[in-house]
Structure 1
Protein backbone atom coordinates (compact mmCIF):
# COMPACT_ATOMS: atom_id res chain seq x y z
CA UNK A 1 0.00 0.00 0.00
CA UNK A 2 1.43 3.35 -0.98
CA UNK A 3 1.97 5.65 1.96
CA UNK A 4 1.17 9.36 2.06
CA UNK A 5 3.67 11.45 0.11
CA UNK A 6 5.19 8.37 -1.51
CA UNK A 7 6.63 6.66 1.59
CA UNK A 8 6.48 2.89 1.05
CA UNK A 9 7.89 0.18 3.30
CA UNK A 10 6.88 -3.45 3.50
CA UNK A 11 3.32 -2.44 2.49
CA UNK A 12 2.44 -1.55 6.10
CA UNK A 13 2.07 2.00 7.37
CA UNK A 14 3.08 1.16 10.93
CA UNK A 15 6.46 -0.04 9.65
CA UNK A 16 7.35 3.54 8.68
CA UNK A 17 6.72 4.71 12.24
CA UNK A 18 8.64 1.72 13.59
CA UNK A 19 11.68 2.46 11.40
CA UNK A 20 11.52 6.11 12.40
CA UNK A 21 11.19 5.26 16.10
CA UNK A 22 14.14 2.84 16.06
CA UNK A 23 16.27 5.30 14.09
CA UNK A 24 15.60 8.30 16.35
CA UNK A 25 16.02 6.31 19.55
CA UNK A 26 19.33 4.94 18.32
CA UNK A 27 20.43 8.47 17.43
CA UNK A 28 19.56 9.62 20.94
CA UNK A 29 21.30 6.71 22.66
CA UNK A 30 24.42 7.35 20.58
CA UNK A 31 24.60 10.94 21.77
CA UNK A 32 22.87 12.91 19.01
CA UNK A 33 21.34 16.24 19.99
CA UNK A 34 17.73 17.13 19.25
CA UNK A 35 18.93 19.45 16.46
CA UNK A 36 20.97 16.65 14.84
CA UNK A 37 18.04 14.24 15.05
CA UNK A 38 15.67 16.74 13.48
CA UNK A 39 18.08 17.47 10.62
CA UNK A 40 18.63 13.77 9.99
CA UNK A 41 14.95 12.87 9.87
CA UNK A 42 14.10 15.87 7.68
CA UNK A 43 16.74 14.73 5.17
CA UNK A 44 15.45 11.16 5.20
CA UNK A 45 11.81 12.18 4.81
CA UNK A 46 12.62 14.62 2.01
CA UNK A 47 14.48 11.88 0.12
CA UNK A 48 11.69 9.31 0.27
CA UNK A 49 9.10 11.92 -0.64
CA UNK A 50 11.07 12.96 -3.73
CA UNK A 51 12.14 9.51 -4.93
CA UNK A 52 9.38 7.23 -3.66
CA UNK A 53 12.03 4.79 -2.37
CA UNK A 54 11.27 2.76 0.71
CA UNK A 55 13.18 3.54 3.89
CA UNK A 56 14.92 0.17 3.84
CA UNK A 57 15.94 0.44 0.18
CA UNK A 58 17.25 3.98 0.61
CA UNK A 59 18.86 3.83 4.05
CA UNK A 60 18.94 0.20 5.13
CA UNK A 61 18.81 -0.86 8.76
CA UNK A 62 17.89 2.12 11.01
CA UNK A 63 20.36 1.13 13.74
CA UNK A 64 23.25 0.86 11.27
CA UNK A 65 22.34 4.10 9.54
CA UNK A 66 22.07 5.97 12.85
CA UNK A 67 25.52 4.68 13.80
CA UNK A 68 26.95 5.96 10.52
CA UNK A 69 25.51 9.43 11.10
CA UNK A 70 26.68 9.75 14.69
CA UNK A 71 30.21 8.34 14.41
CA UNK A 72 31.79 11.78 13.96
CA UNK A 73 29.21 14.14 15.45
CA UNK A 74 28.28 12.92 18.88
CA UNK A 75 27.20 15.58 21.35
CA UNK A 76 28.98 15.29 24.75
CA UNK A 77 26.09 17.20 26.32
CA UNK A 78 23.50 14.78 24.93
CA UNK A 79 25.54 11.77 26.09
CA UNK A 80 25.93 13.23 29.58
CA UNK A 81 22.22 14.00 29.88
CA UNK A 82 21.10 10.62 28.54
CA UNK A 83 23.39 8.33 30.51
CA UNK A 84 24.41 10.57 33.40
CA UNK A 85 20.81 11.11 34.42
CA UNK A 86 20.04 7.39 34.29
CA UNK A 87 23.10 6.50 36.38
CA UNK A 88 22.31 9.11 39.04
CA UNK A 89 18.67 8.05 39.18
CA UNK A 90 19.62 4.41 39.67
CA UNK A 91 22.13 5.19 42.42
CA UNK A 92 19.70 7.52 44.22
CA UNK A 93 16.80 5.10 43.89
CA UNK A 94 18.98 2.24 45.09
CA UNK A 95 19.99 4.18 48.19
CA UNK A 96 16.40 4.97 49.16
CA UNK A 97 15.43 1.32 48.71
CA UNK A 98 18.14 -0.07 50.99
CA UNK A 99 18.50 2.62 53.62
CA UNK A 100 16.55 2.13 56.85
CA UNK A 101 14.08 4.72 58.09
CA UNK A 102 16.07 5.83 61.14
CA UNK A 103 16.95 9.05 62.91
CA UNK A 104 19.21 11.34 60.94
CA UNK A 105 21.96 11.20 63.56
CA UNK A 106 21.92 7.44 63.99
CA UNK A 107 24.82 5.49 62.48
CA UNK A 108 24.13 3.19 59.55
CA UNK A 109 26.26 0.15 58.74
CA UNK A 110 26.93 -0.11 55.01
CA UNK A 111 28.03 -3.58 53.93
CA UNK A 112 30.46 -4.45 51.17
CA UNK A 113 27.61 -6.22 49.40
CA UNK A 114 25.54 -3.03 49.32
CA UNK A 115 28.47 -1.07 47.88
CA UNK A 116 29.14 -3.74 45.26
CA UNK A 117 25.50 -3.65 44.16
CA UNK A 118 25.99 -0.16 42.71
CA UNK A 119 28.47 -1.03 39.90
CA UNK A 120 26.76 -4.40 39.46
CA UNK A 121 23.42 -2.66 38.93
CA UNK A 122 24.94 -0.23 36.43
CA UNK A 123 26.33 -3.13 34.39
CA UNK A 124 22.89 -4.77 34.47
CA UNK A 125 21.33 -1.48 33.32
CA UNK A 126 23.70 -1.43 30.36
CA UNK A 127 22.66 -4.97 29.48
CA UNK A 128 18.97 -4.03 29.66
CA UNK A 129 19.50 -0.99 27.42
CA UNK A 130 21.34 -3.11 24.84
CA UNK A 131 18.67 -5.82 24.94
CA UNK A 132 15.88 -3.26 24.56
CA UNK A 133 17.60 -1.87 21.49
CA UNK A 134 17.95 -5.36 20.04
CA UNK A 135 14.29 -6.16 20.73
CA UNK A 136 13.13 -3.28 18.57
CA UNK A 137 14.76 -4.77 15.48
CA UNK A 138 15.61 -8.38 16.37
CA UNK A 139 13.00 -9.44 18.89
CA UNK A 140 14.29 -12.95 19.52
CA UNK A 141 17.88 -11.93 20.22
CA UNK A 142 16.81 -8.95 22.30
CA UNK A 143 14.40 -10.96 24.46
CA UNK A 144 16.99 -13.67 25.08
CA UNK A 145 19.60 -11.08 26.10
CA UNK A 146 17.08 -9.36 28.36
CA UNK A 147 16.20 -12.62 30.16
CA UNK A 148 19.88 -13.53 30.63
CA UNK A 149 20.61 -10.05 32.00
CA UNK A 150 17.55 -10.03 34.25
CA UNK A 151 18.15 -13.50 35.71
CA UNK A 152 21.86 -12.75 36.15
CA UNK A 153 21.03 -9.55 38.01
CA UNK A 154 18.53 -11.35 40.25
CA UNK A 155 20.99 -14.09 41.18
CA UNK A 156 23.97 -11.75 41.52
CA UNK A 157 22.12 -9.19 43.64
CA UNK A 158 20.87 -11.90 45.99
CA UNK A 159 24.43 -13.17 46.45
CA UNK A 160 25.70 -9.64 47.12
CA UNK A 161 22.98 -9.01 49.71
CA UNK A 162 24.33 -11.98 51.63
CA UNK A 163 27.74 -10.28 51.79
CA UNK A 164 26.98 -8.45 55.02
CA UNK A 165 30.50 -7.58 56.19
CA UNK A 166 30.47 -3.92 57.24
CA UNK A 167 32.44 -1.64 54.93
CA UNK A 168 31.72 1.77 56.46
CA UNK A 169 29.65 3.27 59.27
CA UNK A 170 28.21 6.70 58.55
CA UNK A 171 25.49 8.93 60.03
CA UNK A 172 22.17 8.52 58.25
CA UNK A 173 21.98 12.20 57.34
CA UNK A 174 25.14 11.94 55.20
CA UNK A 175 23.74 9.00 53.24
CA UNK A 176 20.34 10.67 52.81
CA UNK A 177 22.03 13.85 51.61
CA UNK A 178 23.98 11.90 49.00
CA UNK A 179 20.81 10.07 48.00
CA UNK A 180 18.74 13.18 47.40
CA UNK A 181 21.65 14.94 45.73
CA UNK A 182 21.82 12.09 43.18
CA UNK A 183 18.05 12.18 42.65
CA UNK A 184 17.98 15.96 42.31
CA UNK A 185 20.79 15.96 39.74
CA UNK A 186 19.06 13.12 37.87
CA UNK A 187 15.83 15.12 37.77
CA UNK A 188 17.64 18.19 36.45
CA UNK A 189 19.34 16.04 33.79
CA UNK A 190 16.00 14.50 32.81
CA UNK A 191 14.41 17.94 32.57
CA UNK A 192 17.26 19.18 30.37
CA UNK A 193 16.95 16.01 28.27
CA UNK A 194 13.24 16.59 27.68
CA UNK A 195 13.98 20.16 26.62
CA UNK A 196 16.40 18.89 23.96
CA UNK A 197 13.60 17.69 21.71
CA UNK A 198 13.80 16.66 18.08
CA UNK A 199 12.93 19.74 16.01
CA UNK A 200 12.07 19.53 12.33
CA UNK A 201 14.11 22.36 10.72
CA UNK A 202 11.48 22.77 7.99
CA UNK A 203 8.62 23.50 10.34
CA UNK A 204 10.26 24.31 13.67
CA UNK A 205 7.98 21.75 15.30
CA UNK A 206 8.76 18.53 17.15
CA UNK A 207 7.46 15.37 15.41
CA UNK A 208 6.45 13.97 18.80
CA UNK A 209 3.15 15.58 19.78
CA UNK A 210 3.62 15.29 23.53
CA UNK A 211 1.90 18.05 25.56
CA UNK A 212 4.20 20.23 27.65
CA UNK A 213 2.67 18.82 30.85
CA UNK A 214 3.97 15.33 30.06
CA UNK A 215 7.49 16.64 29.49
CA UNK A 216 7.44 17.86 33.10
CA UNK A 217 6.09 14.48 34.23
CA UNK A 218 8.98 12.74 32.45
CA UNK A 219 11.49 15.17 33.94
CA UNK A 220 10.34 14.45 37.50
CA UNK A 221 10.29 10.67 36.98
CA UNK A 222 13.56 9.95 38.90
CA UNK A 223 11.80 11.14 42.08
CA UNK A 224 8.61 9.11 41.70
CA UNK A 225 9.63 5.64 42.82
CA UNK A 226 11.85 6.70 45.74
CA UNK A 227 9.26 9.25 46.85
CA UNK A 228 6.49 6.64 46.97
CA UNK A 229 8.80 4.18 48.72
CA UNK A 230 9.71 6.69 51.43
CA UNK A 231 6.06 7.61 51.95
CA UNK A 232 4.92 4.03 52.51
CA UNK A 233 7.89 3.24 54.71
CA UNK A 234 7.08 6.32 56.76
CA UNK A 235 3.49 5.07 57.18
CA UNK A 236 4.73 1.62 58.21
CA UNK A 237 6.94 3.09 60.96
CA UNK A 238 4.36 5.45 62.46
Structure 2
Protein backbone atom coordinates (compact mmCIF):
# COMPACT_ATOMS: atom_id res chain seq x y z
CA UNK A 1 0.00 0.00 0.00
CA UNK A 2 1.34 3.41 -0.97
CA UNK A 3 1.12 6.07 1.72
CA UNK A 4 -0.89 9.18 0.98
CA UNK A 5 2.16 11.43 1.31
CA UNK A 6 4.13 9.32 -1.16
CA UNK A 7 1.21 9.21 -3.58
CA UNK A 8 0.54 12.96 -3.53
CA UNK A 9 4.27 13.70 -3.86
CA UNK A 10 4.54 11.49 -6.95
CA UNK A 11 1.28 12.87 -8.33
CA UNK A 12 2.47 16.43 -7.83
CA UNK A 13 5.65 15.71 -9.80
CA UNK A 14 3.69 14.02 -12.58
CA UNK A 15 1.20 16.89 -12.84
CA UNK A 16 4.08 19.37 -12.93
CA UNK A 17 5.61 17.44 -15.82
CA UNK A 18 2.35 17.92 -17.72
CA UNK A 19 2.69 21.70 -17.19
CA UNK A 20 -0.54 21.88 -15.19
CA UNK A 21 -0.95 25.07 -13.19
CA UNK A 22 -0.30 25.14 -9.46
CA UNK A 23 -3.90 26.15 -8.82
CA UNK A 24 -5.35 23.16 -10.67
CA UNK A 25 -2.70 20.87 -9.15
CA UNK A 26 -3.77 22.00 -5.69
CA UNK A 27 -7.38 21.15 -6.51
CA UNK A 28 -6.43 17.65 -7.70
CA UNK A 29 -4.25 16.96 -4.66
CA UNK A 30 -6.98 18.22 -2.34
CA UNK A 31 -9.52 15.89 -3.97
CA UNK A 32 -7.20 12.90 -3.53
CA UNK A 33 -6.42 13.76 0.10
CA UNK A 34 -10.09 14.30 0.95
CA UNK A 35 -11.14 11.00 -0.64
CA UNK A 36 -8.46 8.96 1.12
CA UNK A 37 -9.12 10.66 4.46
CA UNK A 38 -12.84 9.91 4.14
CA UNK A 39 -12.66 6.32 2.87
CA UNK A 40 -9.26 5.06 4.05
CA UNK A 41 -8.81 3.56 0.61
CA UNK A 42 -5.40 2.99 -0.92
CA UNK A 43 -4.89 5.97 -3.27
CA UNK A 44 -3.52 3.67 -5.99
CA UNK A 45 -6.69 1.57 -5.86
CA UNK A 46 -8.86 4.69 -5.90
CA UNK A 47 -7.12 6.74 -8.57
CA UNK A 48 -4.54 4.53 -10.26
CA UNK A 49 -0.80 5.02 -10.37
CA UNK A 50 0.26 8.67 -9.95
CA UNK A 51 1.66 8.99 -13.47
CA UNK A 52 -1.43 7.37 -15.01
CA UNK A 53 -3.80 9.55 -13.01
CA UNK A 54 -1.83 12.64 -14.00
CA UNK A 55 -2.34 11.69 -17.66
CA UNK A 56 -6.08 11.34 -17.05
CA UNK A 57 -6.24 14.76 -15.43
CA UNK A 58 -4.17 16.35 -18.20
CA UNK A 59 -6.40 14.82 -20.88
CA UNK A 60 -9.39 16.62 -19.38
CA UNK A 61 -7.73 20.04 -19.33
CA UNK A 62 -6.84 22.71 -21.87
CA UNK A 63 -5.16 26.15 -21.66
CA UNK A 64 -8.36 27.69 -20.28
CA UNK A 65 -8.56 25.19 -17.42
CA UNK A 66 -4.96 25.02 -16.26
CA UNK A 67 -2.88 23.07 -18.79
CA UNK A 68 -0.43 24.71 -21.15
CA UNK A 69 -0.86 23.99 -24.84
CA UNK A 70 1.58 21.64 -26.53
CA UNK A 71 2.71 24.50 -28.76
CA UNK A 72 3.37 26.67 -25.73
CA UNK A 73 5.42 23.92 -24.11
CA UNK A 74 7.51 23.43 -27.26
CA UNK A 75 8.15 27.16 -27.62
CA UNK A 76 9.15 27.32 -23.95
CA UNK A 77 11.60 24.42 -24.36
CA UNK A 78 13.18 26.06 -27.41
CA UNK A 79 13.40 29.50 -25.82
CA UNK A 80 14.90 28.35 -22.51
CA UNK A 81 17.41 26.03 -24.20
CA UNK A 82 18.49 28.76 -26.63
CA UNK A 83 18.83 31.41 -23.95
CA UNK A 84 20.71 29.04 -21.63
CA UNK A 85 23.18 27.71 -24.20
CA UNK A 86 24.04 30.98 -25.91
CA UNK A 87 23.72 33.00 -22.70
CA UNK A 88 26.33 31.05 -20.78
CA UNK A 89 28.57 30.78 -23.86
CA UNK A 90 28.49 34.50 -24.65
CA UNK A 91 28.86 35.47 -20.99
CA UNK A 92 31.89 33.20 -20.56
CA UNK A 93 33.49 34.41 -23.81
CA UNK A 94 32.87 38.10 -23.20
CA UNK A 95 33.68 38.38 -19.51
CA UNK A 96 37.42 38.82 -20.19
CA UNK A 97 36.68 41.99 -22.22
CA UNK A 98 39.57 41.25 -24.58
CA UNK A 99 40.36 44.29 -26.74
CA UNK A 100 40.80 42.01 -29.75
CA UNK A 101 37.17 40.94 -29.45
CA UNK A 102 35.67 37.48 -29.47
CA UNK A 103 36.13 35.24 -32.49
CA UNK A 104 34.06 32.22 -33.43
CA UNK A 105 35.51 29.59 -35.75
CA UNK A 106 33.75 27.35 -38.24
CA UNK A 107 33.64 24.63 -35.60
CA UNK A 108 31.91 26.98 -33.15
CA UNK A 109 29.39 28.17 -35.74
CA UNK A 110 28.42 24.62 -36.72
CA UNK A 111 28.76 22.75 -33.42
CA UNK A 112 26.75 25.11 -31.21
CA UNK A 113 23.54 25.04 -33.29
CA UNK A 114 23.84 21.25 -33.61
CA UNK A 115 24.19 20.98 -29.84
CA UNK A 116 21.15 23.21 -29.36
CA UNK A 117 19.04 21.09 -31.72
CA UNK A 118 20.09 17.91 -29.91
CA UNK A 119 19.30 19.36 -26.47
CA UNK A 120 15.85 20.53 -27.58
CA UNK A 121 15.06 17.23 -29.30
CA UNK A 122 16.11 15.17 -26.27
CA UNK A 123 14.09 17.38 -23.91
CA UNK A 124 10.96 17.09 -26.05
CA UNK A 125 11.30 13.32 -26.43
CA UNK A 126 11.79 12.89 -22.67
CA UNK A 127 8.71 15.03 -22.12
CA UNK A 128 6.70 12.83 -24.48
CA UNK A 129 8.08 9.67 -22.87
CA UNK A 130 6.78 10.90 -19.51
CA UNK A 131 3.44 12.33 -20.59
CA UNK A 132 2.17 10.55 -23.73
CA UNK A 133 -0.65 8.03 -23.35
CA UNK A 134 1.12 5.54 -25.64
CA UNK A 135 4.48 4.84 -27.32
CA UNK A 136 6.32 6.01 -24.19
CA UNK A 137 9.16 3.53 -24.64
CA UNK A 138 9.50 4.56 -28.27
CA UNK A 139 9.91 8.20 -27.27
CA UNK A 140 12.37 7.22 -24.54
CA UNK A 141 14.42 5.20 -27.01
CA UNK A 142 14.32 8.09 -29.44
CA UNK A 143 15.73 10.38 -26.76
CA UNK A 144 18.66 8.01 -26.23
CA UNK A 145 19.34 7.78 -29.97
CA UNK A 146 19.21 11.56 -30.40
CA UNK A 147 21.57 11.97 -27.44
CA UNK A 148 24.05 9.54 -29.00
CA UNK A 149 23.73 11.23 -32.40
CA UNK A 150 24.24 14.64 -30.81
CA UNK A 151 27.39 13.51 -29.05
CA UNK A 152 28.63 11.94 -32.28
CA UNK A 153 28.02 15.18 -34.17
CA UNK A 154 30.10 17.08 -31.62
CA UNK A 155 32.95 14.60 -31.98
CA UNK A 156 32.86 14.93 -35.78
CA UNK A 157 32.86 18.72 -35.54
CA UNK A 158 35.85 18.65 -33.19
CA UNK A 159 37.80 16.36 -35.51
CA UNK A 160 36.95 17.79 -38.92
CA UNK A 161 36.14 21.49 -38.67
CA UNK A 162 38.61 24.36 -38.45
CA UNK A 163 38.99 25.75 -34.94
CA UNK A 164 41.77 28.24 -35.65
CA UNK A 165 40.45 30.86 -38.07
CA UNK A 166 37.57 33.04 -36.84
CA UNK A 167 34.69 33.40 -39.28
CA UNK A 168 32.81 35.81 -37.01
CA UNK A 169 34.40 38.40 -34.72
CA UNK A 170 32.54 40.77 -32.41
CA UNK A 171 33.54 43.21 -29.65
CA UNK A 172 33.82 41.61 -26.23
CA UNK A 173 31.43 44.12 -24.68
CA UNK A 174 28.76 43.18 -27.22
CA UNK A 175 29.18 39.46 -26.61
CA UNK A 176 29.11 40.02 -22.85
CA UNK A 177 25.98 42.16 -23.12
CA UNK A 178 24.24 39.51 -25.21
CA UNK A 179 25.23 36.89 -22.65
CA UNK A 180 23.80 38.92 -19.77
CA UNK A 181 20.57 39.67 -21.64
CA UNK A 182 20.10 36.03 -22.63
CA UNK A 183 20.73 34.79 -19.08
CA UNK A 184 18.32 37.34 -17.63
CA UNK A 185 15.71 36.18 -20.12
CA UNK A 186 16.29 32.55 -19.17
CA UNK A 187 16.01 33.22 -15.44
CA UNK A 188 12.87 35.31 -16.02
CA UNK A 189 11.23 32.44 -17.89
CA UNK A 190 12.24 29.94 -15.21
CA UNK A 191 10.91 32.23 -12.47
CA UNK A 192 7.60 32.57 -14.30
CA UNK A 193 7.39 28.78 -14.65
CA UNK A 194 8.09 28.31 -10.94
CA UNK A 195 5.42 30.84 -9.98
CA UNK A 196 2.89 29.20 -12.29
CA UNK A 197 3.64 25.75 -10.89
CA UNK A 198 3.52 26.71 -7.20
CA UNK A 199 0.79 24.59 -5.63
CA UNK A 200 -2.18 26.53 -4.30
CA UNK A 201 -4.78 24.51 -2.43
CA UNK A 202 -8.42 25.60 -2.61
CA UNK A 203 -9.48 27.90 0.20
CA UNK A 204 -11.56 26.13 2.79
CA UNK A 205 -14.93 27.71 3.44
Q: TM-score, normalised by structure 2?
A: 0.67
CA offsets per residue over residues 171-195 of structure 1, 9 Å max, x none?
Answer: 0444333322221011112222333
Matching residue within 114, 117, 122 for 1:116:
114
State the shift of 1:105 in Å.
Answer: 5.8
Give the SS at the match of 1:155: helix
Matches within 5 A, 1:1-238: 10=1, 13=3, 16-71=4-59, 72-73=61-62, 74-75=67-68, 79=73, 83=77, 86-87=80-81, 88-96=83-91, 101=96, 103=98, 106-111=101-106, 112-127=110-125, 133=130, 151-162=148-159, 164=161, 168-171=167-170, 172-196=172-196, 197-202=198-203
Change (3 A) 1:164 1:81: closer
| Separation in 2, partners of 1:86, 1:75 | 16
- Asked if structure 2 preserves the Cα contact closer than 8 Å seen for 1:117 and 1:160, the reply is no
**Equivalent residue, structure 2, for 1:212:** none
Higher RCO (CA < 8 A, seq sep 6+): 2
Alignment coverage as a number of residue pairs? 185
Shift of 1:42: 0.5
Q: What do you get for the CA RMSD once the two structures are aligned?
A: 3.9
Q: Extract unaligned runs of 5+ from structure 1.
A: 1-9, 135-140, 204-238
Structure 2 unaligned runs (5+)? 132-137
